[in-house]
Amino acid sequence: MIDPTRLKAYFTDLQTRIVTAIETLEGRAGTSFRADPWARGAGSPLAGSGCTCILEGGRVFERGGVAFSQVSGAALPASATAKRPELAGCAFAAMGVSLVLHPENPYCPTAHMNVRALIATRADADPAWWFGGGMDLTPYYPFAEDIRHFHITCKQALQPFGADTHARYKQWCDEYFFLKHRNEPRGVGGIFFDDLSEGGFERCFALTRAVGDAFSEAYLPIIAKRQTLPYGERERDFQAYRRGRYVEFNLVWDRGTLFGLQSGGRTESILMSLPPVVKWRYDWHPEAGSAEAALYDMLAPRNWTEAPAAGPVLGS
């Protein structure tokens, strides 16, 4: 039996724990999150409530958002039924936590994490439910050991759920976070899953919790290690340029963004993922052999968990 109370208890606790961990990293000289609770009545296209926690202009993070939402609607949007046409027109309820963190230091990578549950009600059958989520890393000046740590933590989180689960979800992530119009990955991947219902509710909920719980360990030690590295205008300029790819993916390809906008969701919460400073240039390419070119050499998917990567990656 699906118990929304259990789902909400986990998701709200996860939001609290991640916000606390980030504020600890910001430190006393840093910035705290601003909690922005919201609610929409039953007459709205997307009814429900939530709390978007936003941090801007921090000591470490230039912008970060950690949002919890619990919403319902009269009909699933097209982005949710593309692979489930039999659910077109079904009423639904969705709940989850979504976050994006954009550090100011270009040597610190951007990170995204999302865990969610969705229930669709049908007049002629039992409710359909599924979980989705994942996390991925988007560096600007990559460190091999950091990328390995992120992927190994993801693998360890999924280990109890089958020997091949991590490999499948890693490949799914590599394929999903890909800018088709650029023919390049957004970052160095991580894990991604959607439409998860195999093995029953308890298994799927446990897997989703494992992913959510692993995020802080996968990402925050990287920031703690790199946040004080010196940088200049060159590094900030390249960071802003590569952030443009992040914006392009979120606005063109991301299913979560499309779901929120198509279902009449809260725009401020949906677009909290966008970085505060972004640049675009026409047909720009990094100089061969430069630190900026090293990023492009490392974007191609690979197995980061088995052996140190070869190639032009920044050292520790």
Q: Where are the domains positioned within the chain?
A: 4-298
Helices marked H in the chain — which ranges?
A: 4-26, 78-81, 144-158, 165-176, 201-226, 233-252, 255-262, 267-270, 291-298
What is the model's pLDDT at position 77?
Answer: 66
Residue 195 CA, chain-centre distance (Å), reads 16
| Given the residues 102, 112, 149, 166, the one annotated as active site | 112
pLDDT over 90 (residue 287):
yes
Give the pLDDT score at 262. 74
**In the chain, what is the greatest distance between 2 CA atoms, to the nearest angstrom?**
62
Q: Which residues contact 254 (CB under 8 A, 6 or more apart)?
A: none
Region 188-210 average pLDDT: 96
Segment 190-212 shows an average pLDDT of 96
Q: Give 5-14 pLDDT, tens digit per residue.
A: 999 999 999 9
Q: What is the mean pLDDT of residues 218-236?
A: 98
Helix axis angle, 144-158 to 201-226, nearest 10°: 160
Give the chain's mean pLDDT: 90
pLDDT value of residue 309: 46
pLDDT of 1: 62
Q: Percentage of residues in the chain with pLDDT exceeding 70?
A: 91
Q: How far apart are CA 95 and CA 227, in angstroms?
A: 33
Amino acid 188: pLDDT: 97
Are the C-beta atoms of 50 and 66 separated by less than 8 Å? no
User: Per the structure block, which two tokens stand in for 48?
Assistant: 């429900």
Q: Measured between alpha carbons, how far is residue 130 from residues 2, 11, 103, 115, 154 in Å? A: 11, 15, 32, 11, 21
Active site residue 181: no
Instruction: Tell how far CA 154 is from the center of its chain.
Output: 13
More confident residue, 175 or 126: 175
Class assignment of domain 4-298? alpha beta
Residue range 17-29: mean pLDDT, rounded: 95
DSSP secondary structure code for residue 279 in this structure: -
Flag the least confident range among 6-20, 36-50, 73-87, 249-263. 73-87
118 contacts 93 by C-beta, under 8 angstroms: yes
Question: What's residue 264's pLDDT?
Answer: 73
Query: What's the pTM value of the predicted model, to 2 decimals?
Result: 0.91
Q: What is the pLDDT of residue 119?
A: 86
Over residues 104-148, the pLDDT tens digits come to: 999 999 999 999 999 888 777 777 889 999 999 999 999 999 999
Q: pLDDT band for 236, please (50, 70, 90 cuts).
A: very high
Is residue 166 scored above 80 in pLDDT?
A: yes
